[in-house]
Amino acid sequence: MARRPIIAGNWKMNNNKAATKELVDGIMYGVSQLDASKMPEVIIAPSFTSLWQAHDLIRNESKIALAAQNVNPNPSGAYTGEVSLEMLEDFKVQFVIIGHSERRQMFNESDEFINQKAKAILAKGLIPIICCGETLEQREAGVTDEHLASQITKALDGISASDVEKSVIAYEPIWAIGTGKSCDSIEANRTIGEIRKVVAKLYSQDTADKIRILYGGSVKPSTIVEQMAQPEIDGGLIGGASLKADSFIELIKGAM
């Protein structure tokens, strides 16, 4: 069974109200020109403050889905500054990015916390986009594959095969994020193949064949076609190049 490609824009901490409108309007115009039957699944992940507006703008556009950049796994309560799944449901958010290296590194998020988030997201019927990736030091020390295996094994702990099949993994080597230096496509393909083997070992080959695994890290319109041509790469999780409508549309076209 062919896996449907995904092009997901992670806006990170960018775009106020005016910029959100401009970007979403631009993406909507761009996708209106594209053949829906050939399009990848298109996801945008604005900041919490832009979710309502983005939801409102895309409510009649079935070609674009919404993701949140984070969530707190607890249902409600005294968690100052946090946002719950129930709140995200109001905006018809379908995906939640978890385990991003920026949250792991700057906000000290642990594998256990990421696992709690994955379980809470799936329990609500939403889909986690589970990020993993190695530092440059880990790559140079030759421990990339075991590090990724550890991150994925811990993130998926206690999650059923049927939930894993629906989930999305994003392989984002930390040294490639925001650096302009994308991981070589052949190596990204190999690494993602290794991640798929971890899923096969934990579950089954069938589950591993179903889960979609994206590449992220300096994906650009000039790299996407070669990346999408790799059999293991099911799409892109894109930061910088998702912030302008024309380049995001080029990325979508590159996955068609």
Task: Just list the catalytic residues.
Answer: 100, 172
Residue whose C-alpha is closest to residue 95's, from 136, 125, 52, 135:
125
For residue 231, the 8-state DSSP code is T
Query: Which of 130, 177, 245, 249 lies at the binding interface for ligand 13P (CB under 6 A)?
Result: 177
Q: How far is the CB of 172 from ligand 13P (least distance, A)?
A: 5
178 lines the binding site for ligand 13P (CB under 6 A): yes
- In whole angstroms, what is the distance from residue 38 CA to residue 217 CA? 24
Determine how many CB atoms are found less than 10 A away from the CB of residue 176: 23
Using Cβ positions, the residue closest to ligand 13P within the complex turns out to be 239
Q: How far is the CB of 110 from ligand 13P (least distance, A)?
A: 19
Is 169 or 238 the residue whose CB approaches ligand 13P more closely? 238
- In whole angstroms, what is the distance from residue 219 CA to residue 223 CA? 6
163 lines the binding site for ligand 13P (CB under 6 A): no
Mask 212-231, x = binds ligand 13P (CB under 6 A)?
Answer: ----xxxx------------
Sites for ligand 13P among residues 96-115 (CB under 6 A)? 100
- In whole angstroms, what is the distance from residue 247 CA to residue 76 CA? 38
Is 10 or 189 the residue whose CB approaches ligand 13P more closely? 10
Q: Which string of DSSP letters, residue by residue, matches 20-56?
A: HHHHHHHHHHHHHTS-GGGPPEEEEE--HHHHHHHHH
Residue type, 193: G
Residue whose C-alpha is closest to residue 124's, from 83, 153, 152, 154:
83
234 lines the binding site for ligand 13P (CB under 6 A): no
Is 9 or 203 the residue whose CB approaches ligand 13P more closely? 9
Phi, psi angles (nearest 5°) of residue 238: -120, 130
Query: Which of 10, 15, 72, 189 lies at the binding interface for ligand 13P (CB under 6 A)?
Result: 10
239 lines the binding site for ligand 13P (CB under 6 A): yes
Query: Where do contacts with ligand 13P occur on this chain (CB under 6 A)?
Result: 10, 100, 172, 177-178, 216-219, 237-241
